[in-house]
Amino acid sequence: MEGFIIKVFYLGKRKRILGIAIGLVLMAAMLAGCGSTGTSADGPAVTVSSKAWTEQLILGSMLLELLEDNGYPVEDQLGLGETPTLRPALKSGQIDVYWEYTGSILMTEMGEEQMSQEEEAYNKVKQWDKEENDIIWLDYAPANNTYTLMMKEERAKELGLESISDLAGYIKSGEEDLILATNIEFFEREEDGIPGLEKVYGFEFDRDAMVFVTTGLTYDALRNDNADVAMGFATDGRIPAFNFINLEDDMGFFPIYNPAPTIRPEILEAYPELPELINQVAQALDDATLAELNRRVDMDKEEPDEVARDFLAEIGLLD
């Protein structure tokens, strides 16, 4: 229900296509007057979609704004749903492009074990999706929306901690107990949670010095000094907003969740120049950048499309 409401809001706010005929006539006039942009008024409209949460709405808006500004006919289906909704819609042609995460497909669709090497994970997913589903993956972003261990920046500097290895060494030194804020799932998950993390890094959190809360409240526990360390997600907007840092996963324990546009081959056949254009967006998105964009929406209450436009302008892809 939430995704449906968002979708209707965006359709109403943007008023993307008032009429196919009018849109094509205006586009033809624009192309004739301004010179060729590599698009064709006779080509298909590109239906852009996304999942229904902040980061996805921002990423989807980037595609929508970029394509529209470059003269492509677009249709807005942002906030359509999650992976189980979007994947069938992409394969059936109901939508044409949306951002997916490598780890989501690797583990949930392919049934593979997690991978910590981003290029290896991307190449495996890209090849499998092309062969099995005729879905094309464009370049992935350096941003990795995976689990993270966070600390207040000031506290981490005070203790000289920059990585999880630093944290492990400090805890093993016995200097003091550090309180961890976590949810139950992360505490129990062997493959990508506390048990596996402790095994790889060779240390243990004090079980009597833990704060168990729901996922979203780990940030508040850390902010309010009810914990020294907290689990979270690496591109969450509250990390820069609350002056947190992500401790570097220097041993590559956490699975990779790099976002990348996934697109139907029919669209690339109609517009073969699209990858070169869209890949410039992915290349500019690292953890800190995406977290800051998320912060502007979640904390400053800016609209995702406004944040997307500002970002595209900053990197020189939008006037």
- Condensed to tens digits (0 to 9), the pLDDT of residues 222-266 reads 999 999 999 999 999 999 999 999 999 999 999 999 999 999 999
Long-range contacts of 306-312 (CB under 8 A, 24+ apart): 307/58, 307/61, 308/58, 308/59, 308/61, 308/62, 308/64, 308/65, 309/61, 309/65, 311/62, 311/284, 312/62, 312/65, 312/66, 312/69, 312/281
245, 74, 250, 11: which is closest to 150 by C-alpha? Answer: 245
**Which of the two residues, 192 and 30, has the higher pLDDT score?**
192
- The stretch 297-309 carries a mean pLDDT of 97
Inter-residue contact 275 to 138 (CB < 8 Å): yes
* pLDDT value, residue 157: 98
CATH code linked to domain 147-246: 3.40.190.120
pLDDT of res. 10: 38
Residue 7 has pLDDT above 50, yes or no: no
Contact 249, 234 (CB under 8 A): no
Q: Is the pLDDT of residue 48 over 90?
A: yes
Q: What's the whole-model pTM score?
A: 0.82
CB 299 within 8 A of CB 241: yes
Question: Do the beta carbons of residue 135 and residue 127 sit within 8 Å?
Answer: no
Q: How far apart are CA 139 and CA 81, in angstroms?
A: 22
DSSP strands (E only) in the chain: 46-49, 74-77, 97-101, 136-137, 147-152, 180-182, 210-212, 229-233, 244-246, 259-263
Count of alpha carbons within 13 angstroms of residue 123, beta-carbon side: 5
The confidence band for 183, taking pLDDT boundaries of 50, 70 and 90, is very high
Q: Rounded mean pLDDT of 124-132?
A: 98
Residue 116 has a pLDDT of 83
Q: Does the structure show a pLDDT above 90 at 271?
A: yes
For residue 59, pLDDT over 80 is answered with yes
Spatial strand order of the sheet with 74-77 comes to 74-77, 46-49, 97-101, 259-263, 136-137
| Residue ranges covered by each domain of the chain | 2-143+258-314, 147-246
Alpha-carbon separation of residue 65 from 106, 124, 229, 238, 247 (angstroms): 29, 30, 38, 25, 34
In terms of Cα–Cα distance, which of 218, 156, 233 is closest to 181? 218
In this prediction, residue 20 carries a pLDDT of 35
What tokens were used for 203?
């240390």
By percentage, how much of the chain surpasses pLDDT 90? 80
Answer for the pair 215, 221: CB distance below 8 angstroms, yes or no.
no
Examine domains 2-143+258-314 and 147-246 and report if their fold is the same.
yes
Quick check: 251 and 201 in contact, CB under 8 A?
yes
Is residue 202 scored above 90 in pLDDT? yes
305: amino acid identity, one letter: D
Q: What is the mean pLDDT of the chain?
A: 88
For residue 14, the one-letter residue type is R
**What's the pLDDT at 191?**
81
Predicted local distance difference test score (pLDDT) of residue 108: 87
Residue 171: count of CB within 10 angstroms of its CB: 21
For residue 217, how far is the Cα from the chain centroid? 20
Per CATH, the number for 2-143+258-314 is 3.40.190.10
Residue type, 260: A
